[in-house]
A = this chain, B = another copy of it.
Amino acid sequence: MTPPPVSPGTPLAHLDTPALILEMAPFERNIERLQSAVRGSGARVRPHAKSHKCVEIARRQLKAGAIGICCQKVSEAEPFVEAGVRDVLITNEVIGEAKVRRLADLAQHARIGVCVDDARNVAELSVAAQHARVVLDVLVEIDVGGNRCGVSPGDEAVQLALAIKNTPHVRFGGLHAYHGRAQHMRTVAERSAAAQTAAAQARSTRDALARYGVACETITGGGTGTCFFDAGSRVYNEIQPGSYIFMDADYLRNEWQPMPEFEPSLFVLCGVMSATVPGRVIVDAGLKALAVDSGMPLVRGHGGLAYAGPSDEHGIVTVPAGTPAPALGDKLQLIPGHCDPTVNLYDRIIAVRDGKVEAVWAVSSRGALW
């Protein structure tokens, strides 16, 4: 199976569908908007590569001022390190000999950080680091409201940090305090309150560590929904937003004002493949072309049209009475409901500027589950 050939200069309208397209102008504005909004806050930007999995995008983020990247899986990080990214934080626990060995090997080529929430894992990391002759930065993940991974802030975190301090071949790197659930709270007030609670828990843990003489070099967290609050908290000194470069239908449902707002830049170009009855057309992008876990995609630039539901390879788009229906073969652009798992369905991102293909980028870490 070979994908349809695409070359720079091809008009957008000539692309075979479905295709994942990135509009360069809003994408570049999003990168610049984030960097300028946090400039002077004291917080470093370490964008999350789990959203894009694309070396070319990481390069642009680093060029704009990011100090490194985050990855969620060791295998996700590998193409980035291979491409020359020299500072990667795995914002996740890495468990088991195979993965830990791979992680340590990576640290022979880049500064690698990783999160822990269990002392046995610290020991496992130490053995692998010794074997690979590297030192791993190990951050204690604290659960600041996500109810997912992480130890409790305070005593539990202190004990784990002390365990790291007392273990060879690993270095205590600080705290990972990411509040995933807060990112899609709809109002600014809700997200701000959740971010404050998270920051307070990170601060009290930092202060408790200080009483043991242990400094927290890094306190990191903050996704697209809360990163401006986190950057302004004077607790976090690193933020890790991912989706801000693309946006998606779910993030667009958030209230943003008076926070800086990001623009949708990522679209699934699809084609009308059936138009037999009034009131609906069928497009060629379904569950294998779009992630729908966070809701349906939006139809770009067509007020009345709605993507009503997917099947594996089809999408039903409803056309209200009085709205002109797209014709067979017409192309529509969809704003994905959730950008990260949508990107993971594609082998390439087609970068577009002024209606023409500018470049074709590999989704280098697509399918990197390990």
Residues on B with beta carbons closer than 8 Å to the beta carbon of A121: 328
- What is the oligomeric copy number? 2
A234-290 residues at the B interface, CB under 8 angstroms: 271-277, 280, 282, 284-285, 287-289
Residues on B with beta carbons closer than 8 Å to the beta carbon of A311: 148, 180
Residues on B with beta carbons closer than 8 Å to the beta carbon of A310: 293
| Nearest-CB residue, chain B, relative to A268 | B369
Instruction: Among B94, B118, B313, B316, point to the contact of A275 (Cβ < 8 A).
Output: B118
Instruction: Check A3–B370 contact: CB distance below 8 A.
Output: yes
Instruction: Check A344–B274 contact: CB distance below 8 A.
Output: no
Q: Tell which of A148, A150, A272, A346 has the most Cβ of chain B within 10 Å.
A: A148
Instruction: Check A276–B95 contact: CB distance below 8 A.
Output: no
Give the distance to chain B from A57, nearest Cβ to Cβ, in Å. Answer: 16
Q: Is the interface of A mostly helix, strand, loop or mixed?
A: loop
Does A4 sit within 8 A of B, measured CB to CB? yes
Q: A96 CA to B152 CA in the complex, in Å?
A: 56
Does A145 sit within 8 A of B, measured CB to CB? no
Q: A223 CA to B312 CA in the complex, in Å?
A: 13
Q: A280 CA to B291 CA in the complex, in Å?
A: 26
Q: Mark A53-87, 1 if CB is under 8 A from B, else 0.
A: 00000000000000000001101101100000000
Does A345 sit within 8 A of B, measured CB to CB? yes
Does A201 sit within 8 A of B, measured CB to CB? no
Q: List 5 A-B contacts (CB under 8 A).
A: A17-B96, A148-B314, A152-B276, A288-B369, A345-B345
In the complex, besides A50-B312, A95-B329, A287-B340, 20 extra interface pairs with C-beta distance below 8 angstroms are A1-B76, A1-B79, A1-B364, A17-B370, A72-B312, A73-B313, A93-B273, A94-B273, A118-B328, A147-B280, A148-B311, A148-B314, A149-B273, A284-B369, A287-B338, A288-B340, A289-B369, A292-B293, A293-B293, A293-B310
